[in-house]
A and B are shown apart, each in its own frame.
Chain A
Amino acid sequence: EAGVTQSPTHLIKTRGQQATLRCSPISGHTSVYWYQQALGLGLQFLLWYDEGEERNRGNFPPRFSGRQFPNYSSELNVNALELEDSALYLCASSPQGSLQPQHFGDGTRLSIL
């Protein structure tokens, strides 16, 4: 069974640009979660999508947004990139249900120059 897949592996952008990160969940999983892991700051919850809807978001500005497609894959968009957006962005998926374990993809490392 394929795990959570994310693309691209690495992404280099400059300040002010826009970035799009992609995630495909494990087959059968309907919930997709996005986390940011910046150096020294630990994993921070960004967004949760389920059945195509945004269900919850963390304490991030509106320039962090995303969507979930009918096949449950998801995109994370970051507009007006800032230097502090440099981080590993992790996508996780789980079956529907709040107590289900979340399984992570390998992440996209976003570097802002």
Chain B
Amino acid sequence: QKEVEQNSGPLSVPEGAIASLNCTYSDRGSQSFFWYRQYSGKSPELIMFIYSNGDKEDGRFTAQLNKASQYVSLLIRDSQPSDSATYLCAVGMDSSYKLIFGSGTRLLVRP
């Protein structure tokens, strides 16, 4: 079992719709959770981070965390073609300081 799992996609949504990206993780000791956006040929860009159960909103983005289910998600409201990218879920553990990345979900927003 992979430590951080994501559906590779592509996830295709029409412009203006809500895109829902999901991630599961295997280590119950995980403490911090991050979403990065990566355009083709570019480096990852931090979008959201969340540490506690529940929802965290920032503009069009909402991160959701459920530690009991070992599940973290990212919602993108009013999706735009410029949101088309690969979204990487990353999980951190207090003991090691390193981030474990999922393989990413490719999002395609159709105009």
Contact = CB atoms under 8 A, between A and B. Distances in A.
Interface of A: 31, 33, 35, 42-45, 48, 50, 55-56, 58, 88, 90, 98-99, 101-107
Contact of A43 (B42, B45, B97, B101): B101
A101 B58 CA distance: 15
Given A42-B104, A98-B31, A99-B31, A55 B45 contact: no
Contacts, number: 58
A107 B92 contact: no
Chain A facing B: main interface SS: strand
Contacts of B36: 104
Nearest to B86: A42
Contact of B43 (A44, A50, A98, A107): A107
B97 A103 contact: no
Contacts of B98: 33, 45, 48, 56, 58
A90 B43 contact: yes
Interface residues of B, number: 26
Interface of B: 31-32, 34, 36, 42-46, 49, 51, 88, 90, 92-104
Contacts of A48: 97-98
A98 B49 contact: no
Contacts of A101: 34, 46, 49
A51 B103 CA distance: 30
A89 B7 CA distance: 24
Contacts of A106: 42-43
B32 A99 contact: yes
22 contacts: A33-B97, A33-B98, A42-B104, A43-B88, A43-B90, A43-B99, A44-B101, A45-B98, A48-B97, A56-B96, A56-B98, A58-B98, A88-B43, A90-B43, A98-B31, A98-B32, A98-B92, A98-B93, A99-B31, A99-B92, A105-B43, A107-B43
